[in-house]
Structure 1
Amino acid sequence: MRVIVVDDDGIVVRSLATILGAERDVDVVGTGTSGHEAVSLFTRVEPDVVLMDIQMTDGDGLTAAEEILGMEPSARIVFLTTFSDDEYIVRALRLGARGYLIKQDVSTIAPALRSVMNGQCVLEGEVLARAAELSIGTGSRGGTASPAARNESALKGLSAREVDVVRAIADGMTNAEVAATLFMSEGTVRNHISSILAKLGLRNRTQIAVFYLRKCM
């Protein structure tokens, strides 16, 4: 995969380029230190994945992502940041970012990028938990939108009960909690999840949560 790395810390950029460049299936085709450079690099080298920080001194990553996705809606953008701020998570998901990782264990970055190349969305555990906890509403930080206020047209192919299960998963519930809340057996929950995955073309529960947070909130 062809990757560009953008971070306003030059040491971080060089370290990531070295670490990722050592992977047999990764080619770091460009590096930058600002959101403006990210947009310019994307236009010039047409990478498969943009790995980018959010807070940068000369043009932030979220604004750059918005510009890139405006030019190429299918662009794969993965944020790698020290910030798990609620507003950043909400905006990143709504923009259509394919990943949101926290700068902790660099050994997880290459596998995450491979997952993104395979069509998956990747959220670091803390971020997924925060996104589910937020129940992202229409622009209100930490607000909870009622089902009636949500745009659930993306779920129109599901049954009403399957929609209930999707909402519960997006709220961070386990299968046991979904079963107790919706008054059904865990076996029935698993059957509903299998059906949901097939209908939405998804692979796992995490993707269900991400799909709902991005498409319906």
Structure 2
Amino acid sequence: MIRVLLVDDQQLVRAGLRMLCGTTEDLEVVGEAGNGHQATQLVERTMPDVVVMDLRMPGVDGISATARILESRPSTRILVLTTFDDDEHLYPALAAGAHGFLAKDAAPEEVLEAIRRVAAGDSPFSRTVLHRLVRTAVTARESEPVRTPPELSQLTDRERDVLALIGDGLSNGEIAQRLHIGVTTVKTHVASLMTKTGIPNRVRLAVLAARADLTFG
């Protein structure tokens, strides 16, 4: 059972998410918070696996709450679910350690799947968000001297393949299908990529792939 904490200043949104989670057998809502301060307190009491976090809230906002939660309980996974999927909110959320980022107009099934993926160690992002980040990275790279990032020198060929597919926005399951390997093996490669590069976030791995102009095949 995946323990979920809902954080949003709109009670109606929290009620909708609670009802959505209630339609499943593997998700349990263990608490609700209306702002970041309440969220940090509830995390200590309820010990959720996943926090579904809004960004704009009165008092302590979602970005500050994310950083505080991960500082005190780093095993907690944070899925940002917000109306504001622009760069002004995206980059600070990533810097704070968010593990996934969805806009509130995502389909209900996409939200449920994102919670499951975050709990499993994956990092789901709206494809539009990921592609925008990659395009930004490519644009920045075009103004820089062409060189191979030093982080890539210690990667195996298989890890480079996985990194390239992460850059294309594929999930662990999609990468497993493309490479004809198990999802557990993909997770092992992703963990190794994060260790070797020092990059703790899947989106930043995608940015690294874009800067290095990695392609699969």
Stretches of structure 2 that go unaligned for 5 or more consecutive residues are 171-177, 180-184, 192-200, 212-217
Aligned pairs, number: 188
- Contact 1:93–1:213 (8 Å) recurs in 2: no
Task: Give the TM-score normalised by structure 1.
Answer: 0.70
For 1:184, the equivalent position in structure 2 comes to none
Aligned to 2:203: 210
**Amino acid corresponding to residue 133 of structure 2 in structure 1:** A
Alignment of 1:148-163 (within 5 A): 153=151, 155-158=152-155
Check if 1:201 corresponds to 2:189: yes
Q: CA deviation at 1:85?
A: 1.2
d(CA) in 1 for partners of 2:188, 2:206? 14
SS of the residue aligned with 1:24?
A: coil
1:69 aligned partner, one-letter code? L
CA distance in 2, matches of 1:168, 1:27: 32
Change over 3 Å in CA distance of 1:212–1:148 after alignment to 2: farther
Contact kept, 8 Å, 1:90 with 1:131, in 2: the verdict is no
Distance 2:207 2:7 in 1: 24
Identity %: 35
* Structure 1 unaligned spans of 5+: 137-141, 175-189, 192-196
* Equivalent pair of 2:39/2:65 in contact (CA under 8 Å): yes
Aligned to 1:21: 22
TM-superposition CA deviations, 1:174-195 (whole Å, max 9, x none):
9xxxxxxxxxxxxxxx88xxxx
Shift of 1:2: 0.5
How do residues 66-105 of structure 1 correspond to structure 2 at under 5 angstroms?
66-104=67-105, 105=107
Question: Structure 2 counterpart of 1:212, which letter?
Answer: L
Is the contact between residue 80 and residue 102 of structure 1 (CA under 8 Å) also seen in structure 2?
yes
- Residue type matched to 1:114 in 2? R
Name the CA shift for 1:202/1:111 in 2 (closer, same or farther; >3 Å).
same
Inter-CA distance 164–111: structure 2 relative to 1 (3 Å threshold): closer
Instruction: Tell me the TM-score normalised to structure 2 length.
Output: 0.70
Give the Å deviation of 1:38: 1.0
What's the CA shift for 1:53? Answer: 0.5
SS in 2 for 1:120: coil
* 2:114 aligned residue: 112
* 8 Å CA contact 2:133, 2:207 repeated in 1: no
Partner SS, residue 100 of structure 1: strand
Cα pair distance change 1:82/1:149, threshold 3 Å: farther
Aligned to 2:98, what secondary structure does the other structure show?
A: coil
Instruction: Indicate whether 1:12 and 2:9 are aligned.
Output: no
Distance 2:75 2:149 in 1: 22
For the structure 1 residues 201 and 65, does the alpha-carbon distance in structure 2 shift closer, same or farther, using more than 3 Å as the test? Answer: same
Task: Describe how 1:120-199 pairs up with structure 2 within 5 A.
Answer: 120-135=122-137, 146=144, 153=151, 155-158=152-155, 166=163, 170=167
